[in-house]
């Protein structure tokens, strides 16, 4: 599995922002007030993934006092991290598009939704950061002994 590309996350966020802007431009009169619940859930997921990242890094690097790590659990964490980083980028982009549109709209109803949109951007960016940290924590560190043996076992190319 390849590491998550930051450029993919940026493009996904920009596309989500464009979709949000378009949807609000067309349907704002019928748009319900923005809820806080998704923001709280995303923030809680960011905290949980941050804790997992710290714990997993200690276990993968075999720090003293850290228990052994289950390889299947690390694979699951890596998949969770990849999915969360993309979902967070999409939500951050959507919230940023909503926020930009609300800041340019001169109505009182638009100003009332600004805190929720700002919270959505902040929580989603925290999720992206925690997910990328968790993904990085799942990498197995290279062992210097194994690297040296691999280089010694190769033919030098000289005849």
Cβ partners under 8 Å of residue 137, min gap 6:
52, 53, 54, 56, 57, 60, 77
Domain locations in the chain? 9-26+34-140
What is the structure's pLDDT at 105? 84
What is the structure's pLDDT at 149? 52
What is the structure's pLDDT at 94? 96
What is the structure's pLDDT at 153? 53
What is the structure's pLDDT at 145? 61
Q: Using 50 as the pLDDT threshold, list the residues of the chain that sit under it.
A: 156-159
Residue with tokens 């349907």: 27
What is the structure's pLDDT at 157? 47
What is the structure's pLDDT at 155? 53
Sign for the pseudo-dihedral over CA of 53, 58, 59, 61: positive
Query: What is the pTM (predicted TM-score) of this model?
Result: 0.83
* Cβ atoms < 10 Å from Cβ of 42: 24
Structure letter (DSSP) for residue 159: -
Structure letter (DSSP) for residue 28: G
């Amino acid at each position: 599995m390849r590491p998550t590309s930051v450029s993919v996350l940026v493009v996904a966020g920009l596309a989500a922002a464009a979709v949000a802007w378009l949807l609000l431009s067309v349907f704002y009169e019928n748009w319900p007030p923005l809820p806080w619940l998704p923001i709280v859930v995303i923030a809680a997921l960011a905290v949980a993934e941050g804790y997992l990242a710290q714990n997993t890094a200690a276990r993968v690097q075999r720090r003293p006092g850290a228990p052994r790590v289950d390889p299947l659990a690390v694979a699951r964490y890596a998949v969770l991290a990849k999915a969360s980083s993309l979902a967070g980028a999409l939500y951050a982009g959507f919230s940023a598009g909503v926020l930009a549109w609300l800041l340019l709209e001169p109505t009182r109803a638009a100003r009332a939704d600004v805190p929720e949109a700002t919270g959505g951007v902040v929580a989603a960016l925290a999720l992206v950061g925690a997910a990328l940290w968790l993904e990085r924590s799942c990498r197995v560190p290279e062992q210097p002994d194994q690297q040296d043996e691999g280089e010694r076992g190769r033919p030098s190319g000289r005849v």
